[in-house]
Amino acid sequence: MTDRAVLRTGEFDLEDMPASPWREAALLALAGLIILVNHVALVVARDRPWTSLWPVGVWAGCAVVGHAVLNRRLPRRDPLLFPLAMFLTGWGLNLVDRLVPSYADRQTLWLVVGVAALLAVSFLPRDLRWLSRYRYTWLIGGLALLGITILIGENPSSTGPRLWLWLGFGRVYYQPSELLKIVLVVFLASFFADHQRYMRTDTIRVWRWRVPSPAFLAPVLLMWGVCMVVLVWQRDLGTATLFFVVFMFMLYLTSGQALLLVGGAVLLLAAAAAAYTQFDVVTLRVDVWADPWSTADSDAYQIVQSLMAVAAGGVFGQGIAQGQPTIIPVVHSDFAFAAVAEEWGLVGTITIVATLAVIVVRGLSIAARTRFVFRSLLASGLSMMLAVQSLLIMGGVLRIVPLTGVTLPFVSYGGSSLLTSFVIAGLLLVLSTDERMPV
Amino acid sequence: MTRELKWVALAALLCFGVVTIGAAYWAVVRADSLRERSDNARNVIAEQRIRRGAILDRDGEQLAYSEVTETGLARRVYPYPQAAAPVGYYSVTYGTAGIEAAFDAELRGDDQASAWRDLVDDLLHRAPQGSDVRSTVDLDVQLAASEAFGSHSGAVVVAHVPSGRVLAMVSQPNYDPNQLDAAWETLARDVETSPLLNRATAGQYQPGGALQTVVLAAMLAAQSDLSQQGGYVLNSEVPDVDTPVRVNGLELTCLPGTPSRPLTLAEAYLFGCPAPFARAMESGLTPGHLWERLDALGLLTSPVLSGFTTAAGSPPPLLHDETPSEELVAALTGQGDLTVTPLQMLQVIAAIANQGNAVPLHLVDAVRAPGSSEWESLELPARRPALLRADVASAVRLTMLQASAQSPYVSQARLGDLVLYGHSALAYGGPDATPYVWFAGFADVTESDQPEAVAVVVVIESEDDPALAAQVAGAALAAAVGVE
């Protein structure tokens, strides 16, 4: 890790371009233009008053303030992360306002909260040593919150899994499993960083091959157990898969032992198979994925309607507010990607996929550039969290994998998810900038 | 760790690539099959967005139009449910009928479609606009006929001769096309009265005494020299004119009110006496002649109603010299296997009014493209075959004129000093031989050199008083010729 090897990612390579605040400002302006055009189109298509453009104003305010504060706090940051995150969030705002206008103000509020959280992260000590040092505090705190939610959690729509905590005012709820995503990555990055030296060499010989030592078994099984608890509690493969996959990749990054991934995959499939036989919800999701057509009017209605929305969008899309994505039940959270496909077409979906891919690759390249194992693992773990979550939901909507109840980062409706995504973006920005202080 | 990060980045990019390919697969490769699925609600919404053209009566009164609701979807409105028989209905769920069905392509705007227009409409999300259709229906006649018909079951058709314009078409029991979707289950399941069946074009009725007009024409046509013999045939007394005719368990007699004195063939016709017609084979008519006449008058084939698919009644088995006499008697009295639709009967009556020539029956005469004020006339079939010899038609006409003067029933349709031609008849239909009454006739409305007439056919089910049909016909004719 001490060699400053660089993950080359073509033209986006940080080394080749000086960090310029103008680049970020230009990208933000471009994103703002796209969002404004879409919102104007929405206002025209829906015959709304021009005052309903206010979420774009809030977005622009967040962009300007965010850009200014980041210039002061993190002048040498990655210039792409903030504009890309803001671009997806603004697009998500367009989408929520179009799909469920009554949720638009709440989503706009969460945008402000999210950007504030991102900026708050930038004000915290930049060496992030405090994250590493109190890792057990974070983990126990996170697990305690999870435990509380399991006990007294509720569901804002009063049916379905009770994954939310009421924040004590209004109709504002928070989903602690979202916070757990960050806590988990922080803990694992810190723990693995301390033990990396041993993990990389910890192998045994089995006849002619070197395989990971059985010493890996305990942490892997422990993590697997935690994920199973989440699985049992949520009755959904989504978050559990997300946690476990991110864990396995971080383990692989630390140890460099690819065989561990194979073992992890076996455990994951075993858990999935168990869940398939035990939980009706999971059985349904998998059956519907395997054959949606025979139950297109009942169990598979949502996924078949989602595919029809994608088909209706074609290459160029119907245009904002011109398609019929609202045929899909709860389109604004789980099926935001299908709504994008219908109204912006393949052009829109490729743009979303590419934007997320760039964010992930930027995160991984930050991980590759840093000299410190903890920072590297933190950056890669957070990036993988965004990547796996995006891939799970996009793959689910497109029937590549069974559908899981995770949100599309930055785009879907949902405050907890947006807040988490912005905190991840903030941490990645911090990680991209300052390397002087050793951990 | 850099090496591992490279692999992880590659794996992530690969997965993002798979998602992109997945999106392209559904959006491009499988798009058409998904779009065409019957459970794709977008098709229904697209259908509901179409601004169907209006259906107008001959004076421009709207009989059907599309109203755009707040949601941008169109709703079909029928201001005159009494005109349901010619106008029909349009329903996203249950399809179309009447003019809505026959001129569906024009009303939807499909006839205007071009690849370019489709592309522009699609890009701009413009709702497809259909053409207006002008029907030949005269709302006054339609409403008068419908009102006069009251709550009876049956049908009325009124047409102008020689243009062939159908002025009114009533089929009862009726339905309200505005309420079709809500009432469909009841309407469709009602096999007893079949409200959705257009009795005027598709109702299959036993012709009964109404066939006497055809048999009379056949008898006259069988005369070698009608100008010499015609008057003799019609005006010579017929022996045993009031003998009841037994056919298929029925006993057919003259209409009630027939004077008990010797009657001529013309009088037997106007009083509806079946005996002379049942004995037609004795006076030179052959089964082959009769068959030829049925065929020529269009009673064995579907009548032409421009743009529409019409139904024929069921044809009888071929009549020939070996046909048993009971079957011949049944065929001659209209109580055999042959059934006819009111539209088929109208075609016969119109030809008699038109010197024996067929009239081009039609319900729609012009179409107006969206945004245009120019009506474009529809082409009518150029061929106007002669259904009857002119001299035969003229002899039958005279007999029908005599009927309007002497028949206690036909005279009920008479209006003012208009010249009325008509024939009243009874028929028995169905397994329990329910009686029903026919009226077929026309009023001469010639104003200049060109002869003009309004022809009408009425059939009323489950009634045995021929006067009822004549009264309905009279009301319809009165509205058509503008006589109070």
pLDDT tens, residue by residue, B291-312: 888 888 888 888 888 777 777 7
Q: Please, are residues B32 and B43 in contact by the beta-carbon 8 Å criterion?
A: no
B4 touches A at CB < 8 Å: yes
Across chain A, mean pLDDT equals 86
Q: Residue B28 gets which letter from DSSP?
A: I
Which of B3, B18, B19, B123 is most worth mutating to test chain A (most A CB atoms within 10 A of its CB)? Answer: B19
Would the CB atoms of A353 and B23 count as touching at under 8 Å? yes
Would the CB atoms of B27 and A311 count as touching at under 8 Å? yes
**CA contacts within 13 A on the Cβ side of A437:** 11
A362 touches B at CB < 8 Å: no
Task: Identify the residue whose tokens are 């864990």.
Answer: A247
* Residues of chain B contacting A357 with CB distance shorter than 8 Å: 12-13, 16
pLDDT at B62 over 80: yes
Task: Identify the residue whose tokens are 């030809």.
Answer: B351
**Poorest-pLDDT segment among A72-86, A397-411, B93-107, B407-421:** B407-421
Domain range holding B280?
A: 142-176+194-367+380-481
Would the CB atoms of A307 and B26 count as touching at under 8 Å? yes
Would the CB atoms of B4 and A256 count as touching at under 8 Å? yes
Mean pLDDT over residues B142-150, rounded?
Answer: 92
pLDDT at B356 over 80: yes
Q: Could you tell me if residue B351 is inside a domain?
A: yes
CA distance A224 to A314: 40
Q: Please, are residues A403 and A334 in contact by the beta-carbon 8 Å criterion?
A: yes
- Per domain, the residue ranges of chain A are 129-273
Cross-chain CB nearest to A253 (options B8, B12, B37): B8
pLDDT at A396 over 70: yes
Mean pLDDT over residues A380-397, rounded?
Answer: 95
Would the CB atoms of B18 and A400 count as touching at under 8 Å? yes
Q: Could you tell me if residue B410 is inside a domain?
A: yes
Q: Choose the most confident range, by mean pLDDT, from B31-45, B216-230, B324-338, B457-471.
A: B457-471
Q: Please, are residues A308 and A335 in contact by the beta-carbon 8 Å criterion?
A: no
B251 touches A at CB < 8 Å: no
Q: Tell me the three state secondary structure of residue B274.
A: coil
Would the CB atoms of A311 and B8 count as touching at under 8 Å? no
B433 touches A at CB < 8 Å: no
pLDDT at A263 over 90: no
What type of residue is B205?
Y
B28 touches A at CB < 8 Å: yes
**Percentage of the residues of chain B whose pLDDT score is greater than 90:** 36
**Poorest-pLDDT segment among A213-222, A271-280, B224-233:** B224-233
Is the peptide bond preceding residue B86 cis, with omega within 30 degrees of 0? no
Cross-chain CB nearest to A391 (options B19, B34, B41): B19
Band (A7; pLDDT cuts 50, 70, 90): very low
pLDDT at B231 over 80: no
Contacts across the A-B interface (CB distance below 8 Å)? 133
* Residues of chain B contacting A5 with CB distance shorter than 8 Å: 2
pLDDT at A373 over 50: yes
**B58 φ, ψ (degrees, to nearest 5):** -65, -20
What is the Cα Rg of chain A in Å? 22
* Residues of chain B contacting A400 with CB distance shorter than 8 Å: 18-19, 22
Instruction: Kindly report whether the global pTM for this prediction surpasses the value 0.80.
Output: no
Instruction: Give the total number of structural domains in chain B.
Output: 1
In sequence order, the 6+-apart residues with CB closer than 8 A to the CB of A353 are A394, B16, B19, B20, B23
Mean pLDDT over residues A411-429, rounded?
Answer: 93
Which residue, among A390, A195, A213, has the nearest Cα to B18 in the 3D structure? A390
CATH number of the structural domain spanning residue B470 = 3.40.710.10
pLDDT at position A20: 66
Q: Could you tell me which chain A residue has the CA closest to the CA of B22?
A: A398
Cross-chain CB nearest to B27 (options A345, A391, A395): A345
Q: B74: distance to nearest CA of chain A, Å? A: 16
Which residue, among B314, B343, B287, has the nearest Cα to B86 in the 3D structure? B343
